[in-house]
Amino acid sequence: MPNSPIDQTLLWEELDETSINFDEFDELFSKPPADKTLRSKAKSKPKADKQPCAFYSVNGGHGFGSCNEEGTRLLVFCDVNNLMICNTNFRKPASHLIVYQSGGQASQYRLVISNFRVQARMVPRSRPVRKRKIWKLKNPLNSQSFRNILIKAFNEEEEEEDLQTCNIEDNWKFLWDSLLRATEQIRGWCKVVNTDLRVVKLLDSKRSQALGIFLSSLRLEMADIENAILSFDTSLMDLEKLKTLYDIRGEKAELQKIEDTIAKNPDVAFDKPEQFLHDLNQIPDYAERIFCSIFQSTFQESISVLENKLNNLKMTCEAMVTGVSIRRILSLVLTMGNYMNGGHMKRGQADGFGLEILSKLKDVKSKDNRTSLLQYVVKEYVQRYEQEDAGTDKVALPLPDPSDINQATLVNFEDILVEMGKIEKDFQSAETRSDKVMESSGEKFLQPFKDIMTEFFIKGRQELKDQQENLRECQNKFDYVVKFYCVKPKSGEKTVTPVYFFSLWMTFCKEFKDFWKKEQQIIVKQSMILRGKYCALTPLFKRSFLQAVPPMSSSNFSCGYIELIVQFLVE
């Protein structure tokens, strides 16, 4: 960005005013639209609350009818005499009074009173079976170790005796025993849970319920979870599940309470949430691994969002400084404004204007209210500068797109600086956690974590550095474009912010684009008429056309004649 003083005269181009027809300006005047407000006259009436009775769940309430005094006395009698109470859920006609409704059935206040007991049959529970953790062999690391142990066992057996000469049953028995021994050696046995013992619950009800809901939605075995964490496999557990797993991980106090309970009674039977936290804690450095995996995914997304914001701002600022079409449009506005203020000694000879004027050009209406100053500027720009290319793919919108302007208004340099600081802090935290995993993990659980995170940190550090440099460059370009257009900060503020600067352009660019597209469509229709590409006219349409439009000749052929044809076709 140049450091030399900005020459403000570069912004304005001198126009040959004699080449512009100012006759159409003589009747222009400002007529701001009247504000209209809509008021809602609807008023809501509060409903009176119903007072429930002592037996609200079975006698009245729930919005159906009211509590019944006779039924209440009957319920009190049943409660005193320890009698069973149940509702009569039968289908009722719509005309009957409904005091209870459940599962598509309705009930009145009459109740069934009984005094009986059901003899339950005692079913002995089967004794627990001790199981090997065969499903843990899904882990590629365990699978490779399991394969090596089996090969070693077969090699030792072949050295002692020839397996091909042995009995087939002995060979199958040897294979079966080898598989079981290898499984025990790799993953061990499952803990035998005595179902006759009472399940131990150590967590509070809300915490236990939250874990239970997560486990129901997860639907994965602990072996799959362990494999996904150790091998960075996101096919089973996506980013959202990993985030939830990291958030509900066991706290230090909870895990300590579980370990103390196991130390006192090794055969203790935990509830599912407690057992899940205990099994999850057995995975080596699971919290650090999950954090690194989550940060690896979110880092790329955060950097991409910041990069898109900064690049859009930088591109928009460059277009506003170097764009020739923007200078031409502003020069037209200045020239027409000086003509309208020609009787004023100062305002009629202005060298420039404030950008806040741009949003008011649409409010300057003609005498018949059919056009505005902004529409005339667009029309004059198309005829003067686009000429024969108008209505074709050779021309483009002369102003920045309103969507780019809107995105530029969302940029806040202070917020981006804070966001980058947070990303850098999380980056350093991820590096620390990664180093901890690499130091504490053995060779068995070191890969592929080491290779993935090492490559990520090298690329991520460079990307973060690039965006920090991109931020400084965007700030310099924005400061330059603010000085270029002589924009001063709002009252009470020290600097001009992107939201204030680009809001001066937002309405103007959007309205200019709408009028410019309409002008292009009109030119396309005119070209279609001249080329004879309209559909065949019916006889009635031909007669109406000939009555409204005079025959074309060399004397009356002009833009006004074409506009007359277009107006007839539209109406």
pLDDT recorded at residue 105: 56
Q: What is the mean pLDDT of residues 392-401?
A: 88
Assess whether pLDDT exceeds 50 at residue 43. no
Give the C-alpha separation, 299 to 162, whole Å: 59
Has residue 61 been placed in a domain?
Answer: no
> 331 with 470, same domain?
yes
Considering 283, 307, 339, which residue would you say is the last residue of a domain?
283
Is the Cβ–Cβ distance between 440 and 446 less than 8 Å? no
Has residue 194 been placed in a domain?
Answer: no
As to burial, measured by CB atoms within 10 angstroms (0-12 exposed, 13-18 middle, 19+ buried), residue 114 is exposed
Tens-digit pLDDT profile for residues 481-530: 999 888 888 888 888 899 999 999 999 999 999 999 998 888 888 777 76
Assess whether pLDDT exceeds 60 at residue 24. no
> 325 with 442, same domain?
yes
pLDDT recorded at residue 368: 78
pLDDT recorded at residue 442: 73
Has residue 46 been placed in a domain?
Answer: no
Query: Which of 72-81, 90-99, 249-258 holds the top average pLDDT?
Result: 249-258
More confident residue, 16 or 196: 196
CATH of the domain at 212: 1.20.58.630
More confident residue, 126 or 479: 479
Total number of domains in the chain: 5
Q: What is the mean pLDDT of the chain?
A: 73
> 544 with 424, same domain?
no
Establish how many alpha carbons lie within 13 A of residue 171's alpha carbon, considering only the half-sphere containing its beta carbon. Answer: 9
pLDDT cut 90: percent of the chain above it: 13
More confident residue, 353 or 472: 472
Has residue 11 been placed in a domain?
Answer: no
Is the Cβ–Cβ distance between 64 and 409 less than 8 Å? no
List the single range of 131-135, 474-478, 486-490 with lowest mean pLDDT: 131-135
Torsion angle (degrees, nearest 10) of CA 261, 266, 272, 276: 80
Has residue 57 been placed in a domain?
Answer: no
Is the Cβ–Cβ distance between 107 and 115 less than 8 Å? no
Is-cis flag, bond preceding 284, omega within 30?
no
Domain range for 153 is 134-187
348 DSSP assignment: G
Q: What is the mean pLDDT of residues 91-112?
A: 53
Angstrom distances, CA of residue 286 to CA of 258, 289, 445: 18, 5, 11
Q: Given its phi and psi angles, is residue 38 left (phi above 0), alpha (psi -120 to 50 degrees) or beta?
A: beta
> 569 with 420, same domain?
no
pLDDT recorded at residue 190: 58
